[in-house]
Structure formats: structure tokens, C-alpha cells
Structure 1
Amino acid sequence: MPNPDRRRLLAAAGALLIAPLAAHAAPRPLRVVALEYNLVEMLLALGLTPVGVADLKGYRRWVGLGQQTLFGCVSVGTRQQPSLEAIAALRPDLILGVDFRHQPLLPLLSRLAPTRLQASDRTGNGLALMRQDFRQLAVWTGRSQAAESELARLDDCLSRLRGQLGPSAKQRMGVLQGLGGSPQFWAFAGNSLAGGVVDALGWQNAWPARDARQGIVTLTVEDLLDSTASLTAVTDPRADFTRGALWQRVPAVAEARLRRLPADTWLFGGPWSARRLAERLATAWAPAAHAICSGAVSP
């Protein structure tokens, strides 16, 4: 005949054995969908791979940082028009977007999962604004310690590069990016990431305003004809916007104070993009600065 006291004793002993295992079981990884490139990069820098990314192909092409960890990640449409069906199928715990693209979609996205939108049009130093965004994202995902470690690496890199640049940094510097098929191009103001990195390396930004819309000033080559600033342009060798006839009259071009960076130099990203931009800027203007930062960022 079964002994009820013995069965209770065995059950209690089993519970004691299972409890420690349950207490130490790893929590399920947070399932996050990121609808903008800088959010993807920031998540990867925090050690968190998103389950869904808007325009995954575009991220790999234009940003590339950490892309090897995105294998198996699902594309959820475009950044401007993400697929609600694709997002819902991923059963996310959190959806991340930016206000200038995704504010109209917020009620719909919020029905699928808690949704957070980062602000995109603010005033201040662009590098400091990126730090705020990164720390905010770390709070949303419970990864604040990882964020501080990554920002410390960025600070160390900037300090080393600034020291390496030395006197060459005592000049005005402008960062430009072409617009495909257009005579206009973007110049990066003080409230852009590029403007913040320029300041951090010791240069004076050619466009210091800290209240430009999304950190960008739209110019034409005519606007540079009387500029004394040195220039660094992010260019595509197949369509280099700085090689037109009128560009030869720009003082920085005529005096060999123009440097070019590869087309995959992303100017709207997080700490990895900031570090890669700083490394490329420093190397372009002081070749001895090459690979001075430990743990160089690479795709």
C-alpha cells in the first residue's frame, strides 16, 4: 500500500533539487525589432542581436558594423514602411523606432509590443546626443553596464586619436556627404554625430550650429567657394561629387586640404560608427594614427 508520507517526502526532496536549477536558468533573450540603422548598431554594441530589422540589406550595405551577428535576423520591410505582419510574426518584446519616421505608426506598433521612439531633432553636441540615446536604449533593454563599457572604449579611442593628431587638428574642418544624382550635398553641423566627433578630435567644426534640423545643412559647391575650412568628404568612387570643374575652385580642393572617406562611413550611427569615423578621420589627416585604437571596429 503506498505510503503518503513517503511520497510527500520524495516530492519535497525533488523540489529542493529542481529549485536551484530554476533559479540559475538563463532568462529568455529579449526579442527586439529595430526599425532604424542606428538602433540596430546600438543593440549590437550592447551585445543584443535584434530578431527583426527594417531594411536589413541596407544596413549591411551602408553600415555593416556587426553584420556577421545578424545571420538569421528577419527583414521587416523598409524603415519608412515596416511590415506590421512581419513584426507581429516575430512576437517581439520591444519595438524600437525613431520619431521622424515612426510617430504616425506608433498606435499600431504599440498594439504589437511595447514601442519606444527615439527623438531625432534636438539641439546640442551631436556626440553627447548619441551618448544620451545609447544610454536610453541601454535602460530600455536592461544593459546599462554594457553601455558604459562601450562608451569608455569610445572615450579612450578619441583621446588617443586627439593626441596623435596634435597640431594638425588646429584647423576648421567640415564633413560632407553627397546626395546621389543631386548637385546638393549634406554638411554636418555641430548637433550631428560627425560634428560631435570633429569637436572631440580637437578640430573646429566648419558648421558649428547646434540646432540644424537633424544635424544637417544642405549646400551646393557655390557655398564653399569662399570657405577657408579643410574638408573631408564621404564619397563613392563611382560618383565622386567633389570632382566637378567648379570644385577645383574651392580653396580646400585647390590647396590639397580635401580628404575622402569610403562610402560605408556611416554618419548617423552609434558608438561603433563614431569610433570608426574618428579612426578614419584621424588616419586621413595623420596617417601615423592608423590602428591606434585597441579593438578596432570592423564589419
Structure 2
Amino acid sequence: MLVLTSSLTHIKKALVAISCCLLSTAYGEIRITDSDGEKTFSEHPTRIATLNWELTENAIELGVTPIAVADIKGYKEWVARPVLPDASDSIGDRAEPNLTKLAQLKPDVILIGAAVKSLQSRLEKIAPVVFFDTYQKDHNNAQAADETFLALAKLLGKEEIATQKLDQRTAVFAKLKAQLDAKYPEGLPKVASMRFASTTSVYVYGKNSMPEYALAALGIDNALSIDNSQWGVTQKKIRDLREVNDNVLLYFQPFYEEEKLNSSPLWQAMPFVQQGKVAPVAATWTYGGAMSLQYLAEAITTALLGIANNP
């Protein structure tokens, strides 16, 4: 009887150990939802490859240095913030990454956007792929950017950092709005925002664009009514900017033809130009991640304060 009791005790202990092990394994699973659906990882990946600037931004914001980034030169020119660490390797164009070099870098996970969705099956032979299609016409892009940020934070084990960052962003919005209210005591101006395609064509930001969401966070209305779209941007002729009238126009850098633009009679005839209500905005990615909204608001505020200081 003693032997049987002892054996049962050992069996019970073994079963408990197995159960604990199984529970531990299940508990250790990391489940996230990307644009393909639910995906499961056994541990937090550390070697991250990013083939999309939005996702590159997000990884850096979460304190993770991507081992591989698509189009580093372009990122530094057009995105600028957050600053890309020197340790990241370039793997070619965002639409045509160098898959051979990517494989050599041995990533734990590859983060992609819609531009390389067609390459997903090939990328999955290198490492697990997480796909985020953040920008869509039928949803709020700013909200979707936050959801992407939080999902990536869960994958990387950086949820606390993500929450802190989003709280920080809210506080920054309030601080910037207070600065603008002080400089514009009679009320904040309406603002149109855009990028130059050339000296005769522009991309204007409207509904569902990150610049418009940043303006809204500052309590500012868009000076132009542009229909909702996937990216929130519409191409127009430069003459169409007359609709801005005597409101404010801000244009995002980089733009390398300002000298030619300033010599254009059409441009000089615009009411906002004649009234000094136009200014460049420091390079900030207008199709970026959650924290790009803060950088947009900061850059827009700097431009508007400059206009207020030079009536």
C-alpha cells in the first residue's frame, strides 16, 4: 500500500509538472492581429526587418533598432524623425528590397506594408512576416496608426513604452495648442497643407490624412474641403490653391524648387502669399506611424508661430 501511495504521489507530481509546463507554454505565446489576421509567436522577436517607413518609425519609437531598413537615404530625407540608428543596414528600395541581403541578415520577423504584399510568400521563406495595411479609405487612418503601433508593441514586448508614448503625445498636443492660442488671440487660422509635386502641381491633404488629423489635434480647421480617400491626399493644379484665399498655406519639405516657385507670377498673385500667410514645414512623414502625428503637430506649430511672429 505504501508503494502504491508513493507511486500515485509521483504520478500526481509528474502530472502537475506537465500541466504547469503546458500552461507556461500557452501563457508564453504572443498573439497579435495584423492585417492578415491573428498570428502567434513563441517569443518576442529582436532582429526586426522593416520594409515600410511607417513600421520603421514604430520600431524605433518602441526602442528597437531594425537590423534592416528599406531605403535608408529616403527615410533620412523625407521622414527624418525619429532618427534612424546607424546600426540599421540598408536593403534597397521599399518596393524592391534586396531579398538576398535580407536573408543574410537573418531577421526574426519581417514587417511589411501594402507596397510589398506581393512578395509576402517569398519573404516568408526568410522569416515570419507581419503585414500592416494601415491606410484605407473606409477607416480612420489616425486610429488605425495607433492600433498598428499597439499591435507591434505587443509583438515586441514594448506595450508599456507604447502607452507612455501615446500619453506623451496627448500632452504635447495640449502644450502646442496653448502656444498657438497665445499667438493667435483672435482665433486660430484655417490652414491648408500640401506637398509640391512640381512648381505647377501639388498634393493637397484633406479628410483622412495625417496632416488634417494633426491640425484637428491643435484645434485647427482645414482651409480646403478635400474628400476622404485612402491616403487623404488629392493632386491639384497650383492655380487651384486660390481657394485657400487669405487663409494659411503650409507646404512640407523637402522641396527643391523654391527659387523657381518664388519667381512665378501665378504664385506671387496668391492672396496667402501676398499676405505672408505661407510657410514651409520641416520634413515630416505624412504617411507615418502613430508618433508621426506628434511630429506633424510640432512642425506645423513651428511654422504657424513663425507666421504669427512675422505679420
1:85 aligns to 2:97 (yes or no): no
Report the CA distance between 1:285 and its aligned residue: 1.6
What is the percent sequence identity of the aligned residues?
A: 27
Partner residue in 1 for 2:212: 195
76-85 or 235-244, which deviates more: 235-244
The root-mean-square deviation of aligned C-alpha atoms, in Å, is: 2.6
SS of the residue 2:204 aligns to: strand
**Which whole-Å CA distance do the structure 1 matches of 2:140 and 2:308 have between them?**
24
| Deviations 1:10-54, CA, capped at 9 Å, x for gaps | xxxxxxxxxxxxxxxxx9861110001121111000011111001
**Which whole-Å CA distance do the structure 2 matches of 1:174 and 1:250 have between them?**
13
**Which whole-Å CA distance do the structure 1 matches of 2:186 and 2:155 have between them?**
40
CA 1:208–1:196: 2 relative to 1, 3 Å: farther
SS of the residue 1:116 aligns to: strand
SS of the residue 1:67 aligns to: coil
SS of the residue 1:214 aligns to: coil
132-141 or 206-215, which deviates more: 206-215
| Deviations 1:224-266, CA, capped at 9 Å, x for gaps | 223334211124464127522211222222222212223x232
| Deviations 1:121-164, CA, capped at 9 Å, x for gaps | 23444433322221222233232221111111111000111122
CA 1:109–1:206: 2 relative to 1, 3 Å: farther
Amino acid at match of 2:296: L
Contact 1:232 1:261 (C-alpha < 8 Å) held by counterparts:
yes
CA 1:205–1:125: 2 relative to 1, 3 Å: farther
Partner residue in 2 for 1:217: 234
102-111 or 133-142, which deviates more: 133-142
Report the CA distance between 1:268 and its aligned residue: 2.1
Contact 2:248 2:272 (C-alpha < 8 Å) held by counterparts:
yes
Of the three residues 262, 277, 281, the one matched with 1:257 is 277
1:177 aligns to 2:192 (yes or no): no
**Which whole-Å CA distance do the structure 1 matches of 2:163 and 2:284 have between them?**
24
**Which whole-Å CA distance do the structure 2 matches of 1:168 and 1:276 have between them?**
26
Amino acid at match of 1:184: S
**Which whole-Å CA distance do the structure 2 matches of 1:237 and 1:112 have between them?**
38
1:59 aligns to 2:75 (yes or no): yes
**Which whole-Å CA distance do the structure 1 matches of 2:256 and 2:71 have between them?**
23
Unaligned runs of 5+ in 1: 1-26, 291-299
**Which whole-Å CA distance do the structure 1 matches of 2:152 and 2:44 have between them?**
19
Partner residue in 1 for 2:116: 102
Contact 2:279 2:307 (C-alpha < 8 Å) held by counterparts:
no
Of the three residues 43, 58, 65, the one matched with 1:42 is 58
Partner residue in 2 for 1:136: 151
CA 1:169–1:55: 2 relative to 1, 3 Å: farther
Contact 1:76 1:86 (C-alpha < 8 Å) held by counterparts:
yes
73-82 or 137-146, which deviates more: 137-146
Amino acid at match of 2:265: A
195-204 or 226-235, which deviates more: 226-235
Amino acid at match of 2:49: V
Could you tell me the TM-score, scaled by structure 1's length? 0.78
SS of the residue 2:125 aligns to: helix
User: How many residues matched?
Assistant: 260
Partner residue in 2 for 1:160: 175
Of the three residues 129, 132, 154, the one matched with 1:118 is 132
Contact 1:126 1:190 (C-alpha < 8 Å) held by counterparts:
no
Contact 1:176 1:234 (C-alpha < 8 Å) held by counterparts:
yes
Could you tell me the TM-score, scaled by structure 2's length? 0.75
Unaligned runs of 5+ in 2: 1-42
- Runs of 4+ residues over 4 Å off in structure 1: 207-210, 287-290
